[in-house]
Structure 1
Amino acid sequence: MKPFDEMLISGDEVREPYARFHEWFREQDAEALGEKASEAEAFFRRTGITFNVYGQEEAAERLIPFDLVPRIMAKSEWDNLADGIEQRVTALNAFLDDLYHDQEIIKAGIVPERLIAGNEAFLEEMRGFRPPGGVYTHIIGTDIVRCGENEFYVLEDNARTPSGVSYMIENRETMMQMFPELFAQNRVRPVETYPHHLRRSLAAVAPPACEGTPTIAVLTPGIYNSAFFEHAFLADQMGVELIEGSDVAEIDGRIQMRTTEGYKPIDVIYRRVDDAFLDPKVFNPTSMLGIPGIMDVYRNGGITIANAPGTGISDDKAIYSYMPEIVEFYTGAKAKLQNVPTWRCAEEDSLKYVLEHLDELVVKEVHGSGGYGMLVGPTSTKEEQEIFADKLKKKPTNYIAQPTLALSTVPILVDGGLAPRHVDLRPFVLVSDKVRIIPGGLTRVALKEGSLVVNSSQGGGTKDTWVLRD
């Protein structure tokens, strides 16, 4: 099955959102565009926009390749997608609130209790506690794939600490600097307002102890974290402090940071530290990254933590397979955005089917991320399939499987002009007093011809995502 081409209908017939770009591109000099690509790479290198690759001695710090050709979406396409995303994140927050309180969805027999009981992502410490404003997932990155004109599917929900928003913003800034004439010809909705909306959204869920304007800080694990650039970038763009666990202490029932004028209480922490390392008094006692005592302060109304501890349960890929039912249970309406069809290997019939069709399916670990711990059946060897079959038989509850989708393609710049490559999309959503969805998001692109793996850690790149105003 030929993948859906987001730019071309057939031959040289161009889809409407790309019409003005296509006219502009035909007038460009190929050599000059190549020089622009080199300029962009030099800019990213100079700015320090890198990510770390763990477990590799060589080139541990890398640039994410950036492609100059924007991905362009019509207003109507985006509006339909945004409606579905808003419905989904609303349901996710309701689901988390229910899980940590009455568990009505389990009592109704919709989500099996076995998926929650004993799941390391479900935190008993959050039972019976409701975060300020009733919000659990303040920042969400929903991974979307497209397979047709109006066929969008959710690949996964990133409700813990989704990354990539800094690349979305820097990609836009780079494009505006290099091709201002393109923005004059196309009415593109802004993404650079994200830090303003993020600060506003975080301030709206300040804890009961807050007096006056909320003090906000970004908690980072430190400079060796793979996403440290983003932590520093967002703190700087919001005009708030970037802190590490060693910069703060629990004093008088508040989390306070050192300043030149003594200690100052923090009201809202945007944390980029995983649950296990957040509070050594409650979770991992050897953690040097978190803040001792923060969970007690949190439960006593002295601070807001975004995202809330325990949100990782909604990232579980086995839970994901129930999202259409979860959306309908909490919103009373059918899901506007569908899941990718999913086989739960914990179920005997599903496991049998998956084992018989390993060469056709994508098999994923329930807690996996970043493109690791997975089998892409059509591109795998017999040996790899045999290894995975053994893993599935030993621990079927640890895996789900999905069909290999014909992901949509968008053009990238190559030596011969333009060539189609597969993409996904991560829109960023802010939840507090209202749901704010940034128009566009981070488009990740598989730069190798025919590849379906878009993750930067696996050789993928990024591109600017345009949502047109009309």
Structure 2
Amino acid sequence: MPPPAKPRLPRTMGVEEEFHIVDAKTRRLAPRAPELLRQLPEDYVAELQRCVIEINTGISNSLAELRADLQARRAVLVDAAQKLGLGVVAAGAVPLSVPAEMLVTPTARYRRMLADYQLLAREQLICGTQVHVGVEDRDEAVAVASRVAPDLPTLLALSASSPFWADGADTGYSSARTLIWQRWPTTGLAAPVHNAADYDRLVDDLVSSGVITDVGMVYFDVRPSNSAPTVELRVCDSCPLVDTIVLVAGLFRGLVTRELDAHRAGTPPRTLSPPLGRAALWRAARSGTEGDLVDLNGPTSQPAPKVIWQLIESVRPQLEEAGDWETVTELARQALLVGTSAARQRRALRRRGRLIDVVDQLIAETAGNAPATTFTTDQKPTLLAGYGPPVVDDTAGYDEAVDTDGNPRSDYAAVLDTVARLDIPTLRERQSNIEHQQRAEGINFRVSGQNRPQVFPIDLVPRLIPADEWTYLSEGLAQRAKALDHFLRDVYTDQAIVSDGIVPLHAIDLASRFRSTGRLVGHALRAHIAGIDLVCDGPGQWYVLEDNLRVPSGVAYAMANRRLLHEFAPELTLPADIASVEHVPQMLLETLRAAAPPHAEGDLEIVLLTSGWEDSAWYEHSYLADQMSIVTVRPADLTTRDGKLFRHNHFGNAVQIDVVYARMDEDMLLSSNDHTGTPLSRGIREALVSKNLSIVNALGNGVADDKAIYAYVPAMIEYYLNEKPLLPQIRTWICAEREQRDYVISNLDKLVVKPVDGLGGRGILIGPDATDAAIEERRRELLSQPERYVAQELVALSTHPTFDGDGLYPQRVDLRAFVHLRPGPSGPEAHVVPAALTRVAARGSHIVNSTSGGGSKDTWIMTGRK
């Protein structure tokens, strides 16, 4: 009886990692690799770009040994970089860089590459990870490289870490590096040969052709190594998490072992046509693990987790033989739960709206300093394990969907159960699909301090407004809008509210948006469209946060939220008694028609005035105009004569305008030139005085947006309507008043202090969250210019379960509701729009404004009608 066969030793492994070097202060790529390399051992080497360094591990026999080696070499690199004021990033690309500032490493080879390849070399601001698995026979290495090619797209998907390109733009891909990399002439899944002699002839022919200069420029995604007896995997992005590399290395070793055994057994390889292989790589670069991948067994399109687990099962015998099964399956489970680096980077941008936060996260993950994200099985049923609203002064805040015991409230039971059944990877896929569609449609917003707009994030958990609460809100919103319209008509004509001592004259004089243009429309209705922001701090406890009567935005985003959530998360079935948003554009058009000047006859000419595609709300402008079948115009499309306003159509004809739906600031409008280069200001004023034109909302309405005027709105309601305010508002101190200012200065650490003319959350100081330095600076500002500020109590905004890529978190929300006023027989008639925009603050933030990086939710307004 023959002795039992000795167990085979696992095949050896090694890794080459490429790292970006960034400036620790600016977070931009820094071409300082030569300086850093002087502080490092010889196995840290230069690359084409002087902002990249490569490390080479030793030879490992186990995944644990490989992990330890990677961690140790990274620690040396990170420590040396920190001493020079540098950061180290392992990712396919870094979102902050200026390609023109980058420098090629000054060797003869790299200089020739720059001369030969020009754009390709200059834009090679990418980093990859290469994994080597030992195969001693070179003929077998070539054969195995070809045989493993069908599974490479799956490994690429796991490593995807380059969603942003150098200028900070979101490419829409999970691995933009792959798109850049594939432009080189010698890339592709594998060489189309079957033995070493054929491979060497192919390489010799490529060098002889002059397209490449040496064997080192053969960049196939898998190839026999040029310098070691290994098969080399080259398809992957650099990976910020070491565990991602360990997972890929374990899978690749399993694949190489499986295919080498099959080759020796004479089993035919799987066939893979080059076009299908390229398509599968493209899909992996596009989707990562957050979308579908190409299952080449079909071929069919399948969810990424399914394709990944199929691959793992296919190499189970090899993983078990090497002792890797438990490690690989656990790492795969974690990878699918936390998502690709690309998904995590997008989450970091959503949270704060700043690209530097993305780079900081990459630096922390590369160094191994990022908080570990782990999941246990008891989290899967509800996704609410450990969930709880923020605690302030030992008191938990109010969460609208989850009670203090962590259980869904009755109205939310079905919604949260559906969300839980979708599980984390599926939710992340749905979120990714929505964002891809948003980028395609241009549903974005410009965040303060950013040059490029970004998608306006939509959360997957809808917000419910019960029917009785909406009825209460609607009555209070209508009342408030009417009172504000009364105030605007009064303050620009008789100023009776000032004469009667309700609103002090100095409050009007100090309001920065009180303008002479407001007097041009007399006693006509002015607040055609109001956007009123509401917050909640308990069941049915709503407060008005602020009023927007200049250019209130958001209704189109509310409509888009409904459509996209329904399209990409159809499991969240709309209740039968939900208010429809389909007729909102028609409602807006009717309001614009009702605003027409008295002399308008026949078919009205209504236009939407915008500053163009660079406006942060351009999506809304273009969408609403399209839905109402009206045209968008810019100031340069207009001209005035004889007290009338005209637009120029595509035929060069001048068409008189009756109503302008103004979606740009009046200062910008009145300082612009018309079609002929003539200033518009005088002509528009004449058209308004002649009553040949209406502007919605009226010029000068910004005085009602003033934070100091807000304090007097309850008094306006009683004064103009002889009614008690239905909606309470937040207690406000006017810092222009000496006693109130002194109180604010004494309590800065407890209050919220806002500029009276602030927009988008800018300039707000939230006392409990502010640093001592920020409080002291605001103190000095209040002493020198108190009239610029108001202070308010800090309201504990309600929270709402918000999916943040790896679970549900309580994030603060507000609600922007919209009220239309139209002339009626006994005064303005109010129409509350059945679409409201829920805005979501970034995690841990109190500021919900879109321009400060917040997101939104689909808002389900319930009618109570079944």
What TM-score comes out, normalization by structure 2 length? 0.51
The residue aligned with 1:52 is: 446
Q: 1:142 to 1:200 in 2, by over 3 A?
A: same
Using the TM superposition, give the Cα deviation of residue 355 of structure 1 relative to its aligned residue in structure 2, in angstroms.
Answer: 0.9
Q: 1:101 is matched with which residue: 463, 486, 493?
A: 493
Using the TM superposition, give the Cα deviation of residue 342 of structure 1 relative to its aligned residue in structure 2, in angstroms.
Answer: 0.6
Q: 2:610 is matched with which residue: 207, 213, 220?
A: 220
1:193-204, aligned counterparts within 5 Å?
193-204=583-594
Tell whether 2:751 aligns with 1:361: yes
Q: Distance in 1 between matches of 2:624 and 2:725?
A: 32
Using the TM superposition, give the Cα deviation of residue 363 of structure 1 relative to its aligned residue in structure 2, in angstroms.
Answer: 0.4
Q: 1:72 is matched with which residue: 458, 461, 464?
A: 464
Q: Which has the higher strand share?
A: 1
Contact 1:411 1:418 in 2 (8 A): yes
The residue aligned with 1:444 is: 839
Contact 1:66 1:463 in 2 (8 A): yes
Tell whether 2:488 aligns with 1:85: no
Using the TM superposition, give the Cα deviation of residue 24 of structure 1 relative to its aligned residue in structure 2, in angstroms.
Answer: 2.5
Tell whether 2:538 aligns with 1:148: yes
Q: Distance in 2 between matches of 1:359 and 1:337?
A: 27
Q: 1:8 is matched with which residue: 389, 402, 422?
A: 402
Contact 1:221 1:289 in 2 (8 A): no
Using the TM superposition, give the Cα deviation of residue 12 of structure 1 relative to its aligned residue in structure 2, in angstroms.
Answer: 4.7
Contact 1:165 1:441 in 2 (8 A): yes
Deviates more, 1:48-57 or 1:255-264: 48-57
Q: 1:117 to 1:395 in 2, by over 3 A?
A: same
Deviates more, 1:17-26 or 1:455-464: 17-26
Q: Distance in 2 between matches of 1:165 and 1:72?
A: 17
Using the TM superposition, give the Cα deviation of residue 91 of structure 1 relative to its aligned residue in structure 2, in angstroms.
Answer: 0.3
Using the TM superposition, give the Cα deviation of residue 13 of structure 1 relative to its aligned residue in structure 2, in angstroms.
Answer: 4.1
The residue aligned with 1:263 is: 654
Q: 1:386 to 1:261 in 2, by over 3 A?
A: closer
Contact 1:279 1:295 in 2 (8 A): no
Q: Distance in 2 between matches of 1:222 and 1:414?
A: 32
The residue aligned with 2:639 is: 249
Using the TM superposition, give the Cα deviation of residue 457 of structure 1 relative to its aligned residue in structure 2, in angstroms.
Answer: 2.4
The residue aligned with 2:692 is: 302
Q: Distance in 2 between matches of 1:29 and 1:54?
A: 33
Q: Distance in 2 between matches of 1:228 and 1:384?
A: 34
Using the TM superposition, give the Cα deviation of residue 321 of structure 1 relative to its aligned residue in structure 2, in angstroms.
Answer: 0.7
Tell whether 2:706 aligns with 1:316: yes
Q: 1:169 is matched with which residue: 559, 575, 579?
A: 559
CA deviations 1:337-367 (Å, max 9, x no partner) are: 1111111111122111111111111100010
Q: Distance in 2 between matches of 1:288 and 1:195?
A: 33
Identity %: 39
Larger gyration radius, structure 1 or structure 2? 2
Contact 1:87 1:327 in 2 (8 A): yes
The root-mean-square deviation of aligned C-alpha atoms, in Å, is 2.2
Question: Which one-letter code corresponds to 1:439 in the other structure?
Answer: P
The residue aligned with 1:341 is: 731
The residue aligned with 2:504 is: 112
- SS of 1:9's partner is coil
Tell whether 2:778 aligns with 1:388: yes
The residue aligned with 1:42 is: 436
Q: Distance in 2 between matches of 1:188 and 1:417?
A: 27
Tell whether 2:670 aligns with 1:276: no
Using the TM superposition, give the Cα deviation of residue 407 of structure 1 relative to its aligned residue in structure 2, in angstroms.
Answer: 0.5
Using the TM superposition, give the Cα deviation of residue 447 of structure 1 relative to its aligned residue in structure 2, in angstroms.
Answer: 2.8
Using the TM superposition, give the Cα deviation of residue 51 of structure 1 relative to its aligned residue in structure 2, in angstroms.
Answer: 1.9
The residue aligned with 1:127 is: 519
CA deviations 1:234-273 (Å, max 9, x no partner) are: 1111110100111121134321111227211111000122
Using the TM superposition, give the Cα deviation of residue 278 of structure 1 relative to its aligned residue in structure 2, in angstroms.
Answer: 2.7
Count of aligned pairs: 462
Question: Which one-letter code corresponds to 1:4 in the other structure?
Answer: Y
1:224-235, aligned counterparts within 5 Å?
224-235=614-625
Question: Which one-letter code corresponds to 2:725 in the other structure?
Answer: A
Using the TM superposition, give the Cα deviation of residue 216 of structure 1 relative to its aligned residue in structure 2, in angstroms.
Answer: 0.6
Using the TM superposition, give the Cα deviation of residue 45 of structure 1 relative to its aligned residue in structure 2, in angstroms.
Answer: 0.7
Using the TM superposition, give the Cα deviation of residue 412 of structure 1 relative to its aligned residue in structure 2, in angstroms.
Answer: 0.8
Q: 1:353 to 1:294 in 2, by over 3 A?
A: same
The residue aligned with 2:419 is: 25
Residue ranges of structure 1 left out of the alignment (5+ in a row):
none
Question: Which one-letter code corresponds to 1:271 in the other structure?
Answer: A
Q: 1:435 is matched with which residue: 822, 827, 830?
A: 830
Q: Distance in 2 between matches of 1:201 and 1:17?
A: 34
Q: Distance in 2 between matches of 1:254 and 1:183?
A: 50
Q: Which has the higher helix share?
A: 2
Using the TM superposition, give the Cα deviation of residue 191 of structure 1 relative to its aligned residue in structure 2, in angstroms.
Answer: 2.0
Q: 1:222 to 1:390 in 2, by over 3 A?
A: same
Using the TM superposition, give the Cα deviation of residue 419 of structure 1 relative to its aligned residue in structure 2, in angstroms.
Answer: 2.2
Using the TM superposition, give the Cα deviation of residue 146 of structure 1 relative to its aligned residue in structure 2, in angstroms.
Answer: 0.4
CA deviations 1:53-74 (Å, max 9, x no partner) are: 45445xx221122211101111
- Structure 1 runs of 4+ off > 6 angstroms? none
Structure scoring higher RCO (CA < 8 A, sep ≥ 6) equals: 1
Q: Distance in 1 between matches of 2:804 and 2:615?
A: 32
Question: Which one-letter code corresponds to 1:263 in the other structure?
Answer: A
Q: Distance in 1 between matches of 2:833 and 2:453?
A: 28
- SS of 2:396's partner is coil
1:280-291, aligned counterparts within 5 Å?
280=671
Question: Which one-letter code corresponds to 1:424 in the other structure?
Answer: D
CA deviations 1:356-400 (Å, max 9, x no partner) are: 111111100010111111211111111111111000000111100
Question: Which one-letter code corresponds to 2:839 in the other structure?
Answer: R
Q: 1:219 to 1:205 in 2, by over 3 A?
A: same
Q: Distance in 2 between matches of 1:246 and 1:28?
A: 50
Deviates more, 1:3-12 or 1:288-297: 288-297
The residue aligned with 2:766 is: 376
Contact 1:444 1:462 in 2 (8 A): yes
Q: Distance in 2 between matches of 1:181 and 1:414?
A: 19
Deviates more, 1:366-375 or 1:113-122: 113-122
The residue aligned with 2:335 is: none
Contact 2:734 2:791 in 1 (8 A): yes
Deviates more, 1:86-95 or 1:213-222: 213-222
- SS of 2:572's partner is helix
Q: 1:290 to 1:30 in 2, by over 3 A?
A: farther
Q: Distance in 2 between matches of 1:240 and 1:125?
A: 26
- SS of 1:137's partner is coil
Deviates more, 1:223-232 or 1:316-325: 223-232
Using the TM superposition, give the Cα deviation of residue 280 of structure 1 relative to its aligned residue in structure 2, in angstroms.
Answer: 4.2
Question: Which one-letter code corresponds to 2:842 in the other structure?
Answer: L
